[in-house]
Amino acid sequence: MRIVVLDGFTLNPGDLTWKSLEELGECTIYDRTAPEDTVQRADGAEIVLTNKTVLSSDIIERLAELRYIGVLATGYNVVDAEAARKRCIPVTNVPTYGTDSVAQMVFAHLLNLTQNVAHHAQTVSNGRWCSAPDFCYWDTPLVELRGMTMGIIGFGRIGQATARLALAFGMKVIAYDPDTSGVPAQMSEVCEMVELEDVFRLADVISLHCPLTPQTENLVNERHLALMKKTAFLINTSRGPLVDEQALAEALNNERIAGAGLDVLSEEPPGENTPLLKARNCYITPHIAWATHAARQRLLQVVVDNVASFLAGKPRNVVNGVPARREQLDR
């Protein structure tokens, strides 16, 4: 069975091992694949794994030997899953691996916004403390989290993990999710489920944890930003297009909200004219919330388990409703 990994570098830049995957078949691993090289590199492979390399319907149709597509992530919008379904090709993803790492990044951004750790450390490095007239100094208001209200939009695994951290800091938690059936009773007892607009109106901090759908695209828009407190912060470690970036930049620059911490943008890597790159009190990290060593190790293990399950005729984590059939594996 020939296996091709189209873009494995971000998952494994060298600190993990592909050995478990290589034991499952003849394995070719590329760090990155340009769009024009996708067909050539995947041609002849029965199993193709991708992270961000697009597998469109046209590409899928041109790969005659293709039997299985594995996505090295949770989101699978880079694959035309319906085109794969029509050819009875299962598409799998990794539904959970970075829950705690992403929740941790929420608070990395929030603590930076409330205490400006990076800024003050840099001023010390620049020598300012050495010549200060007092034993301490600060350039921005320092904000204590206890007693503040954390508003969470999307209350799945990561949203709930974020809520638990907020509660540990002594924050009040309110949350919105259109489907509350998956919220454990113990979380409902300590977190108040509210309407979407109430999150924007009442929260001191809003953290986004919802999937990107036609309903959630530009969820953070001019109208909802106008509902937020001037002292409120926005954190996005979920999906970039949840935010109308021009509207957020204007809200920040006009001091209609206090600040933002973003790990994702609508275009990645961003263009030089992306409005949030120079927005006031906006801190952006390069989509790294998922990328702790522990989370990537879990991700890689699930990827291997997904492939092994497919080869055993018992696919798991299939997102397009295609079961494996023995004749697929025997061809």
Just list the catalytic residues: 239, 268, 287
Instruction: Give 44's contacts (C-beta < 8 A, 6+ positions apart).
Output: 2, 65
What is the rounded CA–CA span in Å between residue 184 and residue 193?
12
- Cβ(261)–Cβ(252) under 8 Å? no
Q: Which residues are 173's β-sheet partners?
A: 150, 191
- Three-state SS letters, the chain: CEEEECCCCCCCCCCCCCHHHHCCCEEEECCCCCHHHHHHHHCCCCEEEECCCCECHHHHHHCCCCCEEEECCCCCCCECHHHHHHCCCCEECCCCCCHHHHHHHHHHHHHHHHHCHHHHHHHHHCCCHHHCCCCCCCCCCCCCCCCCEEEEECCCHHHHHHHHHHHHCCCEEEEECCCCCCCCHHHHHHEEECCHHHHHHHCCEEEECCCCCCCCCCCECHHHHHHCCCCCEEEECCCHHHECHHHHHHHHHCCCCCEEEECCCCCCCCCCCCHHHHCCCEEECCCCCCCCHHHHHHHHHHHHHHHHHHHCCCCCCECCCCCCCHHHHHC
Residue tagged 């949350």 (tokens):
175
The CB density around residue 26, as the number of other CB atoms within 10 Å, is 12
